[in-house]
Amino acid sequence: MDELASGQAAVDALVRLLDLEALGGDRFLGISPPVGPQRVFGGQVAGQALVAAGRTVDPERQVHSLHGYFVRPGDPTVPITYAVENIRDGRSFSVRRSVAQQHGKVIFFMSASFHVPEDGLDHHEAAPADIPPPEDVPTMAERLAKYPERAGIWSMIPRPIDVRYVGEPGWVRPGDRPASPTQRVWMRIDGKLPDDPLVHACALTFASDLTLLDSVLAVHGAVWGPGGFVGASLDHALWFHRGFRADEWFLYDSVSPSASDARGLATGRMFTRDGRHIATAVQEGLLRRVGG
């Protein structure tokens, strides 16, 4: 299978992952990939929770924000049940609460708000300047070729997404990453997605959890894995500002304003290639030294 077909196959698998089974009564069932990390990837459960919430809302109302908490590690061998509560349907906004459960316990919960598009003020900060285009940035395969012993760290993450780091990623060898105030990554879903805006919002939610905490380590030139840190997402918030396609390149520009008590805060802005600000993410994560 050639590279393009392989990428589309992974994207098709992501779409199936986000296509939850309806159980009735605003309850849905989601599964995890047959091969993956020892715990459910945070972006997956957040994306699936948003799918569940979106399935209960008028399609004309588009998600504009979500706020979620990761409560327990998810078990990838067990299906996840999502229960959606209708908090409110107003004239312009709908609010839903989506709760993910396994083994009778909550592993994640999210509030999501949906809005009927309307006219209003429009402005945004400019995208970072002088960023090389994605075609001029090394691919993940090219990055991994330099660090074969570190490849296992990245291989634990599902990859229907083309990720290209501007600068050194967080999984290189200790000492190979200079300290930096920013973490910048080009991303896109590595194939063609359906045209449904909810699918693109859920795919972006999935992608938004991949590299955001890297910016916390970047400030210190620190890395993931042996000789560095292990981490976990504690909460995640995402705002959608403008229409986009997640299968087209966007720049994920992330910084960390604070870290203390083994927790790090990260914020990221997403820009299209033509500089439109499409989304903003904020996340706090737990970061502990390996062996600490």
DSSP letters, 102-137, are: ETTEEEEEEEEEEE---------PPPPSSPPPGGGS
Q: Which domain holds residue 171?
A: 3-116+135-289
- Is 209 designated active site? yes
Check which CATH number belongs to the domain holding 76 and give it: 2.40.160.210
- The predicted structure's pLDDT at residue 36: 60
Could you give the CA distance from residue 174 to residue 112 in angstroms, rounded to a whole number? 39
Distance of CA 186 to the CA centre of its chain: 13
74: tokens are 């998810």
Question: What's the whole-number mean pLDDT along residues 79-103?
Answer: 98
Write the pLDDT tens digit of every residue in 190-234: 999 999 999 999 999 999 999 999 999 999 999 998 899 999 999
Its pTM stands at 0.93
Confidence of residue 2 (pLDDT cuts 50, 70, 90): very low
Q: Is residue 29 part of a domain?
A: yes
Q: Is residue 254 part of a domain?
A: yes
Q: Is residue 124 part of a domain?
A: no
Q: Is residue 123 part of a domain?
A: no
Read off φ and ψ for residue 98, nearest 5 degrees: -120, 125
Q: Is residue 127 part of a domain?
A: no
Write the pLDDT tens digit of every residue in 109-160: 999 999 999 999 999 999 999 999 999 999 988 888 888 777 665 555 547 8
Could you give the CA distance from residue 151 to residue 170 in angstroms, rounded to a whole number? 12
Please check whether residue 41 is in contact with residue 158, taking contact to mean a CB–CB distance below 8 angstroms. Answer: yes
Q: State the catalytic residue, choosing from 32, 98, 113, 283.
A: 283
DSSP 73: -
Write the pLDDT tens digit of every residue in 33-83: 876 667 898 999 999 999 999 999 999 999 999 999 999 999 999 999 999
102: tokens are 């396994």
Could you give the CA distance from residue 155 to residue 204 in angstroms, rounded to a whole number? 20
Q: Is residue 236 part of a domain?
A: yes
Q: State the catalytic residue, choosing from 44, 101, 233, 254.
A: 233
Q: State the catalytic residue, choosing from 190, 209, 214, 253.
A: 209
Could you give the CA distance from residue 153 to residue 169 in angstroms, rounded to a whole number? 11
Could you give the CA distance from residue 272 to residue 160 in angstroms, rounded to a whole number? 19
Please tell me the number of Cα atoms within 13 Å of 265 on its side-chain side: 7
Could you give the CA distance from residue 32 to residue 48 in angstroms, rounded to a whole number? 10
Q: Is residue 281 part of a domain?
A: yes
- Is 283 designated active site? yes
- The predicted structure's pLDDT at residue 140: 86
Sequence-ordered list of residues with C-beta below 8 angstroms from that of 218, at least 6 positions apart, any chain: 167, 170, 177, 179, 180, 181, 182, 183, 256
- The predicted structure's pLDDT at residue 20: 97
Would you tell me how many other CB atoms lie within 10 Å of the CB of residue 96? 26
Could you give the CA distance from residue 159 to residue 189 in angstroms, rounded to a whole number? 9
- The predicted structure's pLDDT at residue 285: 97
* Amino acid (one-letter) located at 52: A
- The predicted structure's pLDDT at residue 291: 74
How open is the CA angle 13-166-280, to the nearest 5 degrees?
65
- The predicted structure's pLDDT at residue 147: 82
DSSP 10: H
pLDDT of 5 over the 80 cut: no
Number of domains in the chain: 1
- Is 8 designated active site? no
pLDDT of 4 over the 50 cut: no
Q: Is residue 129 part of a domain?
A: no
